[in-house]
Amino acid sequence: MISEKKSPKFSFEKANQIAHEVKIFAKSFIKKGMPLLEIAEKIEDKIFELGGKPAFPTNLSINEIAAHYTPSYDDKTLAEGLLKVDFGVQIDGWTSDNAFSLDLENSVENKKLIEAAEKALENATKIFNKEHSFGEVGKTIQEAISSYKFQPILNLSGHSITQYDLHSGFNVPNFNNNDNEKIKKGLFAIEPFSTNGAGKVQDGNSSGIYQFVFPKTPRSQTAREVLEYIAETFNTLPFCQRWIYKKFQARGLFALRELENNGNLHHFAQLVEVSKGKVAQAEKTIFVD
């Protein structure tokens, strides 16, 4: 018998409440010209302050970068354009994954892209229950975004979430993929992406976001030490170079390279819209009971 206070639902609801507060906080302070590094740290500090842990590094992706941009430890990039803020809060490994987009250049096009993603999320949420299939949710998202004359990003999708696993098997598509499987009990992130481009992303530069994938002992003492820290601190959730630098400074960066070469870590790429179209995103996590 798991006690009520350790149940997945209890942990998720607490994480979700923190995420709600963090979202309000982030919207209140993010301004054009602010360093992305400062934004990411403020968001992550706030998550800790409220009693949660970041489930992954805060993604702050601008314009055609759809996802997986997190500031490096010495990042000088400033907030501008169409900014996506994607962050996660976890309690005991149970995650609430959330995102919103901001128009920082007073552009009508950006505002419409954001509205399209938000509308798609709202409509998808309404039908997200055991009566409906994943394909129907995708169809709803696609229709909402198309009604604004934009494209959903076809090769990005929402996902089921289990403990310490952000992509635990089920995809929540952003178009009608004819998946007739009905939605099940559990945690799901719904995340429509709208674009004025072609509607597809491809891998861009390295992101500095990593995930522990394989426990093979590395050669150097430092790499062993860093790997142990990663396993204890992040378990199998994503983390970033910036966090490792904070703990180990330059030797941590060398260790990351060794761990990646040794096959211990997966290194994520930034995801960039193929035709350099602008991308907006909206996301929330739902517990289906």
What residues act catalytically? 86, 97, 159, 167, 191, 283
16-45 residues near Co ion, rule: CB under 5 A: none
Compare residues 79 and 189 and give the one whose CB is closer to Co ion. 189
Minimum distance from CB of 95 to Co ion (Å)?
9
Residue 169: CB atoms within 10 Å: 10
Minimum distance from CB of 251 to Co ion (Å)?
32
Residue 45: CB atoms within 10 Å: 11
Q: What angle do CA 134, 138, 143 make, to 5 degrees?
A: 150
Compare residues 207 and 264 and give the one whose CB is closer to Co ion. 207
Q: What 8-state DSSP symbol labels residue 166?
A: S
CB 180 within 8 A of CB 130: no
Phi, psi of 127 (to 5 degrees): -105, 10
Query: In DSSP terms, which residues pair with 102 in a beta bridge?
Result: 83
Residue 146 to residue 86: CA distance in whole angstroms: 23
Angle subtended by helix axes 221-234 and 250-261, to nearest 10: 90
Residue 35 to residue 157: CA distance in whole angstroms: 28
| Tokens (6 digits) for 197 | 């481009």
* 97 lines the binding site for Co ion (CB under 5 A): yes
Compare residues 121 and 223 and give the one whose CB is closer to Co ion. 121
Interface map 198-237 toward Co ion (x if CB under 5 A): ----------------------------------------
Residue 236 to residue 232: CA distance in whole angstroms: 9
CB 229 within 8 A of CB 246: no
Compare residues 87 and 245 and give the one whose CB is closer to Co ion. 87
Interface with Co ion: number of residues (CB under 5 A)? 3
Minimum distance from CB of 237 to Co ion (Å)?
12
Which of the ranges 67-75, 94-102, 117-125, 271-279 carries the binding residues for Co ion, by CB under 5 A?
Answer: 94-102
* 286 lines the binding site for Co ion (CB under 5 A): no
Compare residues 26 and 189 and give the one whose CB is closer to Co ion. 189
Which of the ranges 19-27, 93-101, 213-221, 272-280 carries the binding residues for Co ion, by CB under 5 A?
Answer: 93-101
Angle subtended by helix axes 108-126 and 134-146, to nearest 10: 150
Minimum distance from CB of 257 to Co ion (Å)?
27
Which of the ranges 185-193, 203-211, 220-228, 238-246 carries the binding residues for Co ion, by CB under 5 A?
Answer: 185-193
Minimum distance from CB of 141 to Co ion (Å)?
14
Among 82, 189, 255, 265, binds Co ion (CB under 5 A): 189
Residue numbers at the binding site for Co ion (CB under 5 A): 97, 189, 191
